[in-house]
């Protein structure tokens, strides 16, 4: 198995390699398969506060898996933002080698490379399974490595939140005008679209959001979905919880220093890539399960919270402004255009199948 193939597939190939190796030779510490005389210690920085539900489970599980697979020879120490104090410094810390890898989100780095804003999720873009199909079988991984490779980095999917909610508001949104002057915590392209409607998007670390909303430093906050929003306490101070449009499939990110990855022995590379994909699927499943529980809890314990759709006119304007924004960026930035057009072509093909399969099925279930 070539390293290039592992990077491209994000590791379907890696599993095949491990399977073949296990058939040939029983792994043993000190034996031939595991890099016997190597002890490798990596550090991973997350963008999340300490003990952050669901988000932090992935990297911790990754560290456990890699340690077990390597017989204790390859260990990864996970540091939350509570320790390194730089939730939005993960990109630089991984690039400069302070940390070998990170657990974060690609769209936080749009200031480094505009195309990175497309690699978490796109407003009105692909859903979870369309996007995973694009990453692993539609050419998305090659493009992601091209975008991050420019900066000496590798990027891998790290778990998908699924459709996120549109956010917590302290006043009802009845028309596009209600966004004017609204201070809202929202990252990525969604925030830029809202800015075009006159809102003031703000990006704050997770640990500061509750207080900012409570003290009315901000008027609204989008975070994730019931899976984790309730642990933030927003339901205690905001009455309106809107359905989502801007993050239909937010993919978390394992960010890896490319040179450090290339220096790993091939078996450790494969272990890491296998563990990243396993924990991505695990996190995606956990997000769904926790959303089910979170929604039940919200309805039962906080009946005053109104779960609403944005009016049709608002959605139409959000969609129109999303297209204009993406077109402007595509005109100005060739790498952004390459990724966006690639995603668009895949989505146009994928949506036909989605409509015949998932969408139809949900209408009859
Ligand atoms: Ca979000």
Q: What percent of the chain clears pLDDT 90, i.e. is strictly above it? A: 86
Residue 4 has pLDDT above 60, yes or no: no
Identify whether 301 is part of a domain.
no
Band (334; pLDDT cuts 50, 70, 90): very high
Identify whether 304 is part of a domain.
no
The whole model's pTM is what? Answer: 0.90
Q: Give the separation between CA 74 and CA 65, rounded to whole angstroms.
A: 10
Band (8; pLDDT cuts 50, 70, 90): low
For the record, the structure tokens of 218 come out as 């901000």
pLDDT in tens, 200-254: 999 887 789 999 999 999 999 999 999 999 999 999 999 999 999 999 999 999 9
Among the listed residues 203, 205, 206, 254, the one whose alpha carbon sits nearest the alpha carbon of residue 94: 254
Identify whether 115 is part of a domain.
yes
Query: How high is the pLDDT of residue 30?
Result: 44
Q: What percent of the chain clears pLDDT 70, i.e. is strictly above it? A: 90
Residue 181 has pLDDT above 90, yes or no: yes
* Rama region for 216: left / alpha / beta (φ>0; ψ in -120 to 50; rest): left
For the record, the structure tokens of 149 come out as 């490779």
Q: Give the separation between CA 152 and CA 207, rounded to whole angstroms.
A: 29
Q: Give the separation between CA 193 and CA 318, rounded to whole angstroms.
A: 7
Identify whether 210 is part of a domain.
no
**Sequence-separated (6 or more) residues with CB below 8 Å from residue 120:** 105, 106, 107, 188, 247, 250, 251, 252, 253
Ligand 1 centroid from CA 66, angstroms: 29
Query: How high is the pLDDT of residue 20?
Result: 41
**Sequence-separated (6 or more) residues with CB below 8 Å from residue 100:** 42, 43, 44, 76, 94, 256, 257, 260, 261
Ligand 1 centroid from CA 164, angstroms: 6
Identify whether 125 is part of a domain.
yes
Q: For residue 211, which phi and psi values (nearest 5 degrees)?
A: -65, -40
**Sequence-separated (6 or more) residues with CB below 8 Å from residue 39:** 73
Ligand 1 centroid from CA 63, angstroms: 25
CATH number for the domain including 41? 3.40.190.170
Q: Determine contact, residues 79/93, Cβ cutoff 8 Å.
A: no
Query: How high is the pLDDT of residue 204?
Result: 86
Ligand 1 centroid from CA 225, angstroms: 8
Q: Determine contact, residues 208/185, Cβ cutoff 8 Å.
A: no
pLDDT in tens, 309-326: 999 999 999 999 999 999
pLDDT in tens, 124-156: 999 999 999 999 999 999 999 999 999 999 999
Ligand 1 centroid from CA 92, angstroms: 22
Over residues 301-314, mean pLDDT: 98
What is the number of domains present in the chain? 1
Query: Tokens 């991050």 appear where?
Result: 148
List the domain range (segments joined by +) for residue 24: 3-160+249-289
Q: What is the mean pLDDT of the chain?
A: 92
For the record, the structure tokens of 138 come out as 């539609």
| CA trace torsion 262, 266, 268, 269 (10° rounding) | 50
Over residues 173-180, mean pLDDT: 97
**Sequence-separated (6 or more) residues with CB below 8 Å from residue 37:** none
Over residues 344-353, mean pLDDT: 98
Identify whether 319 is part of a domain.
no
Ligand 1 centroid from CA 331, angstroms: 26
Ligand 1 centroid from CA 54, angstroms: 14
Over residues 116-127, mean pLDDT: 98
Q: In terms of pLDDT, which residue wins out, 30 or 212?
A: 212
Query: How high is the pLDDT of residue 283?
Result: 98
Query: How high is the pLDDT of residue 207?
Result: 81
Identify whether 10 is part of a domain.
yes
Query: How high is the pLDDT of residue 9?
Result: 60
Ligand 1 centroid from CA 4, angstroms: 32
Query: How high is the pLDDT of residue 31?
Result: 45
- Burial grade of 342 (CB within 10 A; 0-12, 13-18, 19 or more): middle
Strands (E), 226-343: 240-242, 251-257, 306-308
Ligand 1 centroid from CA 167, angstroms: 8
Query: How high is the pLDDT of residue 11?
Result: 52
Residue 297 has pLDDT above 90, yes or no: yes
């Amino acid at each position: 198995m070539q390293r290039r193939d592992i990077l491209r597939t994000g590791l379907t190939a890696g599993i095949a390699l491990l399977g073949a190796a296990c058939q040939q030779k029983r792994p043993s510490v000190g034996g031939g398969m595991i890099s016997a005389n190597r002890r490798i210690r990596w550090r991973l920085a997350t963008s999340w506060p300490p003990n952050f539900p669901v988000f932090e489970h992935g990297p911790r599980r990754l560290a456990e898996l890699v340690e077990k697979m390597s017989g204790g020879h390859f260990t990864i120490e996970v540091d939350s933002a509570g320790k390194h104090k730089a939730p939005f410094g993960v990109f630089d810390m991984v690039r400069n080698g302070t940390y070998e890898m990170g657990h974060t989100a690609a769209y936080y780095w749009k200031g480094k490379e505009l195309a990175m804003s497309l690699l978490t999720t796109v407003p009105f873009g692909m859903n979870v399974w369309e996007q995973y199909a694009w990453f692993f079988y539609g050419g998305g991984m090659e493009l992601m490595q091209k975008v991050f490779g420019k900066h000496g980095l590798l990027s891998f999917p790290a778990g998908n939140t699924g459709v996120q909610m549109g956010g917590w508001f302290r006043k009802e949104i009845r028309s596009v005008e209600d966004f004017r002057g609204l201070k809202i915590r929202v990252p990525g392209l969604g925030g830029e679209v809202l800015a075009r409607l006159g809102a003031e998007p703000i990006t704050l670390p997770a640990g500061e959001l509750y207080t900012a909303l409570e003290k009315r430093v901000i008027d609204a906050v989008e975070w994730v979905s019931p899976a984790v929003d309730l642990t933030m306490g927003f339901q205690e101070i905001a009455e309106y919880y809107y359905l989502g449009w801007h993050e239909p499939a937010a993919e978390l990110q394992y960010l890896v220093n490319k040179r450090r990855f290339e220096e790993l022995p091939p078996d450790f590379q494969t272990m890491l890539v296998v563990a990243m994909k396993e924990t991505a699927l695990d996190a995606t499943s956990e997000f769904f399960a926790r959303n089910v529980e979170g929604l039940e809890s919200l309805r039962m314990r906080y009946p005053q919270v109104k779960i609403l759709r944005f009016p049709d006119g608002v959605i139409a304007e959000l969609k129109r402004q999303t297209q204009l924004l993406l077109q402007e960026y595509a005109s100005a930035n060739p790498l952004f255009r390459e990724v966006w057009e690639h995603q668009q072509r895949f989505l146009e093909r994928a949506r036909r199948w989605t409509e015949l399969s998932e969408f139809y099925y949900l209408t009859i279930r």
